[in-house]
Structure 1
Amino acid sequence: MARLLRKIILSTKAPAPSPVYSQAVSFNNLIYLSGSLGVNRDTNKLVQGGATSEAKQALENIKNILESGGSKIDNVIKATVYLKDLNDYAQVNEVYQQYFTKNPPARTAFQVGNLPLNASVEIEVIAAVGDVETTHTKM
């Protein structure tokens, strides 16, 4: 039977996770990140300013976790955005576009009943590890 490597990733440049989950898990050249809130790692509290500020902090946390796992924001292949209020969709998109400037990943975004810490936004991603070549298919 083949031996497979599952690696737990912990970045000190992002808020520490609770004991019940990992920031990210790497498996077979993919990194699966847990949902990231707009929490400042130094204060362990949500940043002030609502959905825009929270989205920016969440994406910074994601960027740092990816880098700790040997990946980068450009290697994200799938993102899921959870919004407390769908009216924040446009604001979050403005921030999101600053991080995914070319060849954005596949994405799902939807409103949920509530988020931890009463956050406005939570983002989770799946990213590739290594040199990624992007091609385009149009039919």
Structure 2
Amino acid sequence: MKQIIDTNAAPEAVGAYSQGASNGDLVFTAGQIPLTPDGRLLDDASIAEQTEQALDNLVAVLAEGGAEPADVLKVTVYLDDIEDFEEMNETYAGYFEQEPPARSAVGVESLPKGAGVEIEAIAAVE
């Protein structure tokens, strides 16, 4: 049974999608960009700061779905400039210090609202 995840601790969806969804065993997050919960876009911030905000949003959606970073199985990171990989990775590593999940990082032409990074995840619910 599909359960929609909605939390005020992450920004509202900016389109026809949910912040996340779960079937009770897995949590799927929508891609999170560096948008604060109050709607301020950090598009002029460094990739490290953008990554931190995107991951803070991701953690909030996971928590609302009953998961935490240690439960994440797979992460996909989209960067509008793949040259930002190292800076993103340094920040990212702080969120998944032990037994990091599988991850893909992809360079794309552009991201919603001009963001430099977008991050989504799939987690197991304990």
TM-score w.r.t. the length of structure 1 is 0.87
Q: Distance in 1 between matches of 2:13 and 2:103?
A: 24
2:76·2:119 contact (CA, 8 Å) conserved in 1?
yes
Tell me the residue number matched to 2:73. Answer: 77
* 2:40 matches 1:45: yes
**Aligned in 2, Cα 1:114/1:93: closer, same or farther, shift over 3 Å?**
same
1:46·1:54 contact (CA, 8 Å) conserved in 2?
no
Instruction: Specify the code of the residue in structure 2 equivalent to 1:15.
Output: P
Mark the runs of 5 or more structure 2 residues left unpaired by the alignment: none
Instruction: Specify the code of the residue in structure 1 equivalent to 2:81.
Output: D
* 2:60 matches 1:64: yes
Q: CA RMSD in A?
A: 1.0
Mark the runs of 5 or more structure 1 residues left unpaired by the alignment: 131-139
* 2:97 matches 1:101: yes
2:3·2:24 contact (CA, 8 Å) conserved in 1?
no
Give the superposition deviation at 1:110.
1.2
- Kindly indicate whether structure 1 or structure 2 has the higher relative contact order, using CA contacts under 8 Å at least 6 residues apart: 2
- Percent identity between matched residues is 39
- Provide, for residues 63-111 of structure 1, a one-character-per-residue CA deviation record: whole Å limited to 9, x for no partner: 1111111111110000000000011000000000000000000000010
Give the superposition deviation at 1:18.
2.8
TM-score w.r.t. the length of structure 2 is 0.95
Give the superposition deviation at 1:49.
1.6
